[in-house]
Structure 1
Amino acid sequence: MTQGVVMKSLHVAFAAAALFAAGSALADPPAHAGPPAHAKAYGHHKGEKLSHDHWGERVDYREHHLSPPPSGHEWRRVDNDYVLISVNTGLISSVISIGN
């Protein structure tokens, strides 16, 4: 092989390696990586289960301009969030942050 062909082959190999590395960096994080970086450090998340002693105070959805809760759900103020929670399971269906 000539030197030009060898150099071109090396460039192609380096370019392929760079593209592979870039694609790996953009891939989804592993399941054990925790919440995404844009998620609140503190707060509540849809699908989270709250124990009854952490439910906070019940709020009037009309007074706070929230959507009417579906049957079996209640709006609660928990820390700096309004959470829509299932009365039966304690699972959060929706979260609205109200700030600090």
Structure 2
Amino acid sequence: MNNRILTASLVALALASSPVLAGKNKGHEREGHGGPPAHAQAHRDNPPKAHGRHDNGRHLGWQKQAWKRGDRIPLEHLEPAYYIDDYRAYRLDSPPPGHRWVRPDADRYLLVEAATGLIVEALGY
């Protein structure tokens, strides 16, 4: 007897949930209410946090690089967008031949060998 009640309950539940699983009912949809709520769309567009969990403000994986003398910067930082041509405006010394001042972050300056990306001096770190 209990098996019949359980089976009947499961069948009723499956039949009741089938319209939900089938999708939207186009005949009863009101204008402006067809899609997911705005907050659901925003969450879907954001990538998941580290290891699929929220990091509670620790910003795992989002740390600034602490450059130091002897490091090599990535070659993409040796592009004109990062160059400091007017080094006097930033109160920097004239770079020696073959060297450039680059600015990878605000208020941080690196004197690097232009050909290799080797850091000779790091200011603001």
1:93 maps to which residue? Answer: 120
Q: How does 1:2-41 map to 2 (within 5 A)?
A: none
RMSD of Structure 2 on Structure 1 (CA)? 1.9
**Structure 1: which 4+ aligned runs deviate by more than 6 Å?**
none
Contact 2:71–2:119 (CA under 8 A) maintained in structure 1: yes
Aligned residues: 58
Q: State the 1:43 CA deviation.
A: 1.8
Structure 1 unaligned blocks of 5 or more:
1-40
One-letter identity of the residue aligned with 1:89:
T
- In 2: Cα distance, 1:54 partner to 1:75 partner: 11
Q: State the 1:88 CA deviation.
A: 1.1
2:82 maps to which residue? Answer: 57
TM-score scaled to structure 1, two decimals? 0.51
Deviations 1:20-66 (A, max 9, x none): xxxxxxxxxxxxxxxxxxxxx74211100112113461112111010
Structure that is richer in strand per residue: 1
Higher RCO (CA-CA < 8 Å; seq separation 6+) = 1
Are residues 1:75 and 2:98 paired? no
Contact 2:77–2:102 (CA under 8 A) maintained in structure 1: no
One-letter identity of the residue aligned with 2:115:
N
Which has the higher Rg, Structure 1 or Structure 2?
Answer: 2
